Structure 1
């Protein structure tokens, strides 16, 4: 096959799978793909038996990375006065949203209502956030950062920046950008679905997703 035709065909196949992608995204993907023609050496993965499919292997790798991220987050945030990454995520979301409802910030950070409520209570007890009545609905509460919370969060930003650099130190910027391009659609799709899927059975969710 003519090289130009082969390249155009590869671009078309990539664009079909990733609508809205740029030429730069495709070039990063294509160059990395050429470097990885050999089958992945899954024997080097850690953590027991290896999944039977590439999809399951990817989910396992992402899951283990996020668990390790949580463990290292706890260490990095100790001197900031934050106990775990979940607290940092809630504080960051509250600051960005200004004075959100408690339920809004919990769902935005993808936590269960009970878990998120416990975490917010912990942050309130530490003096990092405060609750205020919702003027639009007296039955609801809104949360806002305190001066102490904002100061703590600024230190936490520095620590989390160091953590990201440490964990992804062996990846080139192009590789990181390619991962974002390939995975962002999964994050967007299921983040949008989650609020409606919470009360449904897995079978209902599976049938809905697979019929799209």
Structure 2
């Protein structure tokens, strides 16, 4: 059986470029599997499920805090929150200390739906990473956590920046990391 185009190293394709391609493909596979798992639930997609599970762990966050936690664009995050509220899975309420802000919490119905979908999502995760040994899973998790920490540490500076500003900030951060050893 031959390699797919995604498995082949294309001439001029850097290792970093290949990694971006693979991470993107894995994200698409996860989305496809999750959509199948959520088909008979009140959730539309993996993003809605991610918002709902984050709400279950966060203590009544501001809407903006929830959106920032999930690294969403504000308009997209507001749309997800609207879907969750309109379906009765989440509830908005006024922030008692900041009248300009709204807070959000998961409802009992949201908790029930989340509970009902949890075993499907656990199956999806187990199958998505099934080809890996436990040691490989631990190594992958360690590497992904390192990348996540690096980008999260730089997120506040890079998010509002244009391309050149973001690249410059990330390069400076990489240089500082290299100096630390």
Residue 180 of structure 1 pairs with residue 141 of structure 2: yes
Greater Rg by CA = 1
Structure 1 residue 207: Cα displacement = 1.0
Q: Please point out which of 119, 142, 145 is paired with 1:158.
A: 119
Q: Distance in 1 between matches of 2:120 and 2:152?
A: 26
Please give the alpha-carbon distance, in whole angstroms, between the structure 2 residues aligned to 1:68 and 1:159. 15
TM-score for both structures, normalised by structure 1: 0.75
Q: 1:1-212 to 2 correspondence within 5 Å?
A: 44-46=4-6, 50=10, 52-212=13-173
Higher relative contact order (CA 8 A, sep 6+): 1
Runs (5+) with no aligned partner, structure 1: 1-42
Secondary structure at the residue paired with 1:136? coil
Give per-residue Cα distances to partners, 1:32-69, cap 9 Å, x unaligned: xxxxxxxxxxx545289836111211111111010111
- 1:65 and 1:48 mapped to 2: Cα distance? 16
Give the distance between the partners of 2:132 and 2:171, measured in 1 at CA.
Answer: 33
Secondary structure of residue in 2 paired with 1:89: helix
Q: 1:47 to 1:81 in 2, by over 3 A?
A: farther
Q: What TM-score, normalized by structure 2, do the two folds share?
A: 0.88
Q: Name the SS of the counterpart of 2:60 in structure 1.
A: coil
Query: Does structure 1 retain, via aligned residues, the 8 Å contact 2:89–2:107?
Result: yes
Give a deviation string over 1:79-105, Cα, whole Å, max 9, x none: 222110000111111110120000000
Retained in 1: the 8 A contact 2:92–2:105? yes
How many residues are paired up? Answer: 171
How well do the aligned residues superpose, as a CA RMSD in angstroms? 1.9
Q: Alpha-carbon deviation of 1:169?
A: 1.3
Q: Which moved more, 1:77-86 or 1:144-153?
A: 77-86
How far the C-alpha of 1:203 sits from its partner, in A, is: 0.5
